Amino acid sequence: MTDELLRWRKEFPILEKTVYLISHSLGAMPRATYDRLQAYAEAWATRGVRAWAEGWWEMPLTVGDEIAPIIGAPPNTVAMHQNVSICQSLILSCFEPQAKRNKVVYSELNFPSVMYVYEAHARDGRFRIETVKSDDGITVPLERMLAAIDEETLLVPISHVLFKSAFLQDARAITERAHEVGALVVLDTYQSAGAVPFSVEEMDVDFATGGSVKWLCGGPGAGYLYVHPRWQTKLEPKVTGWMAHEAPFAFESGAIRYAPNIARFLHGSPSTPAIYAAQSGYRIINEIGVERIRAKSVRQTSLLIELMEEAGFRVTSPRDPARRGGTITVAVEHAAAVTKELLRREFIVDYRPGAGVRISPHFYTKDEELELVTREMRQIINTRAYAEHEATTAAF
């Protein structure tokens, strides 16, 4: 069988030298990123301040429109920001908790930085957080999540795919329940966008946020925020800046007059170079199409489970492909040290406490690389080659 997606390999320099299986953390850099950063420098060098009027100012929204098809959003609903943590703060700043509506519900397997934002705001007692427990550290029971969402719930900020185990949550069911009781859903699509096809519009979530570092191959500094059109003229973020003003160049003093559209969810000056850089990744993902990426991912993650189990390893990520994203997690003893030795041998993977070694094929991965990483892991363990890294803990 020929794997048509392998033709993209030549567009990713790092694939020439490594077995690169870490798209859940930092996707490989497209060769075109060099050109995008050159284009940014060229505009600055030759057009100077005029570059703002020639595209830079609009980029947080025009580039948001390049992400929109990847997350199934209509045009004019996505704004670029630096990262997910900022987007969560911005969303939270739109709401005033009331005595009878002040609860935030999420699972204990939420991405920690997201929890840090809500926990910090809950410190003064205005918000209450209900943390839904996981029995196995891998999955979140849907029934338990649904039961926690009640009439006092204001926001449900959840991950679509969990960073640690790749468990894919039923965002549609959670959103239905939230809306039934008048709560709003903030879906973190960082680990699903570019790996799993979905539509924020169809799922009817209120907000979605993610970044470009992982499956989108876009690098750091290019986070995104989707806001459902029904909220775009109603909410008034307190985390704000002049780009959210209806007439920023009027330089009005006093309180902000919000733009009557997605622009009101902007902030101050954008991370222009990061946005330029990230476009190379979006263009490739859009050209291939997330459906094709997913079809290959399901095939390769299933193959990887088989290979790992044949080699005697225990796979901890969900077995049902419909309930997992693009990553396979493998529980091995001395996982941090084994990972360090894999990295030394140019097998690029990582390790998370409680889940094990995380391995992610992407559209550019060869089947043979999955065999190689399995064999290498087995060899490292059999020969105790990990022993010299025993003091290692998780990083990056």
Q: Which residues bind ligand PLP (CB under 6 A)?
A: 83-85, 111, 113, 159, 163, 188, 190-191, 211, 223
Q: How many angstroms separate the first and last alpha carbons of the chain?
A: 35
Do the Cβ atoms of 218 and 279 come closer than 8 Å?
yes
Give 225 or 259: the residue with its C-beta nearer to ligand PLP.
225
Handedness of CA 346, 352, 355, 360 (dihedral sign): negative
Closest contact distance (angstroms) between CB of 233 and ligand PLP is: 27
- Which helix (H) or strand (E) covers residue 103, if one does? strand 103-107
For 37-82, give the DSSP string: HHHHHHHHHHHGGGGGTTTTTTHHHHTHHHHHHHHT--TT-EEEES
Closest contact distance (angstroms) between CB of 335 and ligand PLP is: 18
Closest contact distance (angstroms) between CB of 114 and ligand PLP is: 6
- Strand partners of residue 331: 314
Give 85 or 286: the residue with its C-beta nearer to ligand PLP.
85
Dist CA 39 CA 50 (whole Å) = 14
Closest contact distance (angstroms) between CB of 145 and ligand PLP is: 16
Dist CA 89 CA 120 (whole Å) = 10
Closest contact distance (angstroms) between CB of 159 and ligand PLP is: 5
Give 190 or 347: the residue with its C-beta nearer to ligand PLP.
190
- What tokens were used for 113? 């930085």
Give 325 or 361: the residue with its C-beta nearer to ligand PLP.
325
Give 181 or 394: the residue with its C-beta nearer to ligand PLP.
394
Dist CA 172 CA 365 (whole Å) = 30
Helix (H, G, I), strand (E, B) or coil at 340: helix
Closest contact distance (angstroms) between CB of 54 and ligand PLP is: 29
Give 223 or 356: the residue with its C-beta nearer to ligand PLP.
223
